[in-house]
Structure 1
């Protein structure tokens, strides 16, 4: 498998593959964050219904994992539906990097 580096000129196939990879990574983080919110709201409701406040522990642990996932996605990547908008944005960013003027 060939490594794609943004500093090197990209062929059209590599350009599209990199845009799709970046958009998919961001979409994966959005799905992770949505699941985090839904599950932890349910756990908080159960925790409050039982009269104990244990739901903070899974929320903190999973929150740390979500934060690390976010750092990996947002810092390593740089610069219709949500996935389609992210894909279009990545194509625009890559096109701007490709254009020498």
Structure 2
């Protein structure tokens, strides 16, 4: 029985680690695309409007700004997932739902 429990805990830890690695990979991919696209856009804007004018025009930064908000939200979800919905909340919710299913199956 103890060996079985240990295997289940190890399996759960492995699944969590895989999930975390996928989340990190997704974030770093998002960050890479953000940087490449926004650098290319800035190059295009400065090429078309002249270097100084392209850098001065605030409208050239709208894409980077609003996309950056989404990137920050993505980073918060990857690096700070336990702030709102931590592991304790997750375990309580699982137990709550399992208990609810048990009660509904008896009715």
TM value normalised by structure 1: 0.62
Q: Which moved more, 1:9-18 or 1:61-70?
A: 9-18
Alpha-carbon separation, structure 2, partners of 1:23 and 1:40:
26
1:55 equivalent in alignment to 2:71: no
Greater C-alpha radius of gyration: 2
Alpha-carbon separation, structure 1, partners of 2:16 and 2:63:
34
Q: Any idea what SS the aligned residue of 1:50 has?
A: helix
Q: 1:64 aligns with which of 65, 69, 78?
A: 69
Q: Any idea what SS the aligned residue of 1:76 has?
A: coil
- Deviating 4+ runs (over 4 angstroms): none
> Is there any run of 5+ residues in structure 2 with no aligned partner, and where?
1-5, 84-107
Q: Which one has a larger percent helix, Structure 1 or Structure 2?
A: 2
Partner of 2:27: 29
The two structures, once aligned, show a CA RMSD in angstroms of 2.0
TM value normalised by structure 2: 0.59
1:12 equivalent in alignment to 2:17: no
> Is there any run of 5+ residues in structure 1 with no aligned partner, and where?
1-8, 79-101
| C-alpha contact 1:22 1:77 (8 A) present in aligned 2 | no
**Residues 28-54 of structure 1 deviation map (CA, whole Å, 9 limit, x = unaligned):** 111111110000000001111111533
Number of aligned pairs?
A: 70
